[in-house]
Structure 1
Amino acid sequence: MIGRVNRVLLGLAGLILLAVGGGVLVTGLGVSVPSWWPFDGKGDVLLGKGDRDRWRDEGWWWPTVIAVLAVLALLGLWWLLSQLSRARLSEMLIDSGDGEGAVLRGKALEGALGDETAALDGVADSKVRLAGRRTAPKARIRLRMEPHGAPARVVRELSDQALAHARDSAGLDELPAEVRLKAVKHRAERVI
């Protein structure tokens, strides 16, 4: 989701800057502009003294300015924090049975689960990512299916074999998984 938000924010900022900058450039070059355009000549300023002082005496002006700036600051802070958050689980806490516990690297479990998933019949390639909390991980698995692969059988084997092995080896009660299947592009086979 954050990728979409980044693209939308960058697109909006680009459009606004392009429109304002293009308008100022066109006006500065002396091209005639419509009557509603805020700039009308080479010597015109962006905000004149009258425009800057127009709303100062109104009672609603400063609360509105402060509210808008506060909302923008909160949105900027949310965006910054979402950039810094990790989508990938780096490590998990495992109950080792001795009361101490152990730490399992997320990449190690991702690699083992990915290798076992890629070895399933009908799977050309697999990518595994772990997300969630350290004590309750979730797997996100992307499978590229070969032309002869049966999706129902592959998902059943994934659940019964690969996910069960990962769940048992990590000592987890459950390991929910989101599986996305995609077919490998291939040429049509010629029937003789």
Structure 2
Amino acid sequence: MLRTVNRVALGVVGLLLLVLGGAVLAVGLGAPPPSWWIHDGPHDVLLDDAERTHWRDAGWWWPAVLAVLAVLVLLALWWLTAVLRRRRLTEVLVDTGDGAGALLRGRALESVLASESGALDGVERAQVRLTGRRSTPAVRARLLLAPHVPPGTALQHLTEEALAHARDSAGLAALPAEVRLRAARHRAERVS
């Protein structure tokens, strides 16, 4: 959802800046200003003396300006922390069956999944990351396959062995996975 909010917000801001910048450029080059334009022509200034000092004596003006700027700064900081937030899951909640729970380190589960996936027949290298929530984790895996291995076979072995073992050992009802497969390329060698 955050990705969607991020894209929509960037799209709206970009569209507004594009329309405003295009209007400023067109009026500056001598085009007649649009009906909604706040100035009369290309030689008009952005803020004249009367516009700059019009609200100076009103008691509500500066608190309102500061409040709007503070809200904009808080929204920008929220957006920045949301974008820079780590996507890696640090712990997984394991149901122990007695009403309590145990926490399993996310890196430990990633390491076990990567080593078990890397040990599968035809897999040369495996990288695994846990995402999602600690009660409903998901796996993102990247497998580098040997040239002779069919991708369907490697995916079936990964699903039936490594992911099934991780799901059963952590006591999870489901462990969805997004797997990216890539074939290894070997350099040609001369035979003498």
TM over 0.5: yes
Would the alpha carbon gap of residues 173 and 55 (structure 1) be closer, same or farther in structure 2, given more than 3 Å must change? same
| Counterpart Cα distance in 2 of 1:88 and 1:50 | 47
Quote how far apart the aligned CAs of 1:70 are.
6.9
Deviation per CA, 1:27-62, whole angstroms, max 9, x where unpaired?
A: xxxxxxxxx79xxxxxxxxxxx9946364449xxx8
Structure 2's unaligned 5+ residue stretches are 11-27, 30-44, 56-60
1:120 aligned onto 2:120: yes
**Sequence identity percentage:** 56
Q: Give CA-to-partner distance per residue, 1:143-192, whole Å, 9 cap, x none.
A: 1111112111000111111100000000000000000112223124789x
What is residue 42 of structure 1 aligned with on the other side?
none
Structure-2 change in CA distance of 1:190 and 1:98 (3 Å): same
Residue 161 of structure 1 is matched in structure 2 by 161
Q: Which stretches of structure 1, 4 residues or more, deviate above 4 A after TM superposition? A: 49-52, 65-72, 188-191
1:79 is displaced (CA, Å) by: 2.9
Unaligned runs of at least 5 residues, structure 1: 10-35, 38-48
CA distance in 2, matches of 1:142, 1:171: 24
Q: Mark the CA change 1:161 to 1:50 in structure 2 (over 3 Å): closer, same or farther.
A: closer
Distance 1:50 1:172, change over 3 A: closer
Say which SS state the counterpart of residue 113 (structure 2) adopts.
helix
Alpha-carbon RMSD: 3.5
Name 1:12's counterpart in structure 2: none
- Aligned with residue 53 of structure 1, among 46, 49, 53: 49
1:82 aligns to 2:82 (yes or no): yes
In the alignment of these two chains, the number of paired residues is 144
Aligned to 2:172: 172
For residue 68 of structure 1, report the CA deviation from its aligned partner. 8.3
